[in-house]
Amino acid sequence: MDLKNTNFKNLINEYYNYIVYTLLTLVLLSILLLGSSGNISNFALFPTQNSVCQTSKTFNMKIYGDKLEEALAGAATKDKTVIIAIVNKAYVEGDKPMLDIFLDGFWLGKGTAKLIKHLLIVAMDQTSYRRCKFLGLHCYKLQTDGVDFVGEKLYMSEDFIKMMWRRTRFLGDVLKRGYNIIFTDTDVLWLRNPFPKLSHNKTIDLQISTDNFNGNQWSEANLINTGFYMIRSNNKTISLFDAWYAKKNNSTGLKEQDVLQNLMRGGEFRKLGLKVRFLDTVYFSGFCQNSKDVRAVVTVHSNCCRRISAKMADLIAVIHDWKRFMSSPANETSKFQWTPHDHCRNSWKN
């Protein structure tokens, strides 16, 4: 008898048995795990294409084309609507940064806390991205092509205008991916759920806030504000964003909001067949034109303001006003008045 050959065969058999035992153990563990989640029927040892999809759903796994698609899908509602806000380092640092004030609105507002799961924070630098992840939000890091978007961009400065155009390009890309957008600046406090006051008529392509509402929700004479709007993804709105962004290099000294206003006044909305609704400041208000009814107000935007520090100071005052209103007896709401936005008014003096 060849002992060396026999020992080698025994070694091979033991190794073979070990492999079989390991595979069987893994299969049994998989069956137990799937069975405990009530999805044992989805399991197959040699799965078909359909069972692979089912198993992926069981483990909450999905393959996305890129990180943006993954971020959008994670925040979207069932009808593919995403709330998007864009931040940089200047909005996340300090004792009470703008991002925290913005989120306070969601936590303190009526029916707004549940909307945070549909909020996607787009970070323009690593610091703001880390802060977003720390807060447990849906986050996406926007590549900025070597442009420094870290610090505060003073209103209408060259860097401010560049940042606004980068925002426009990004939002146009989101529309092209088939997602509807509710865009909100982080200096907009959400005090109530805006969905009941936004029309659900799918023929309306764009619903946009105004600095001063003229009383007619269909009038292009309204002065628009791109700090809050809802836009549906379709060929018309994608064409609008393409036409809008194409004006970037021929609009020296103008911010993107001014360019959109000029496009509207020049008949571009009508040319594209867009149906646009302009939002009443009674509901979607701002520092340019306060809501006249605290019982109806939905959002408060610190527009007509020059510096982040001034915006934050006056938005904190709005939060105190809101708390005061929420804790006051119903018969005292008629006496309610907003605290004057002194910090923002004074920001234009420097």
**Cα-based angle 276, 282, 285 (whole degrees, multiple of 5):** 80
- What is the secondary structure of 133-159 as a DSSP string? HHTT-EEEEPP-TT----S---TTSHH
Residue 34: Cβ-neighbour burial (10 angstroms; 0-12, 13-18, 19+): middle
The helix-helix angle for 235-245 and 256-265 (nearest 10°) equals 120
Averaged over 44-61, what is the pLDDT? 40
Lowest mean pLDDT among 17-31, 262-276, 302-316: 17-31
What is the residue-averaged pLDDT of the chain?
A: 84
What 3-state class would DSSP assign to 225?
A: strand
CA distances from 45 to 6, 56, 73 (A): 34, 14, 30
Q: Does 148 or 201 have the greater pLDDT score? A: 201
Averaged over 154-177, what is the pLDDT? 77
Dmax of the chain from CA atoms?
107
The pLDDT tens digits of the residues spanning 198-227 come to 999 999 999 999 999 999 999 999 999 999
What residue spans define the domains of the chain?
67-347
What 3-state class would DSSP assign to 19?
A: helix
Averaged over 132-143, what is the pLDDT? 94
Cα separation, 88 vs 163, whole angstroms: 10
For residue 188, name the pLDDT band (cuts at 50, 70, 90).
very high
* CB atoms inside a 10 Å sphere around CB 266: 10
Task: Please give the pLDDT value at position 252.
Answer: 74
Choose the most confident range, by mean pLDDT, from 45-49, 214-218, 252-256, 332-336.
214-218
CATH no., domain 67-347: 3.90.550.10
- Residue 111 corresponds to which tokens in the numbers above? 């029916």
Please write down the long-range contacts of 329-333, taking CB distance under 8 Å and 24 or more positions apart. 333/294, 333/295
The pLDDT tens digits of the residues spanning 99-132 come to 999 999 999 999 999 999 999 999 988 999 999 9
Task: Please give the pLDDT value at position 13.
Answer: 62
Averaged over 321-345, what is the pLDDT? 88
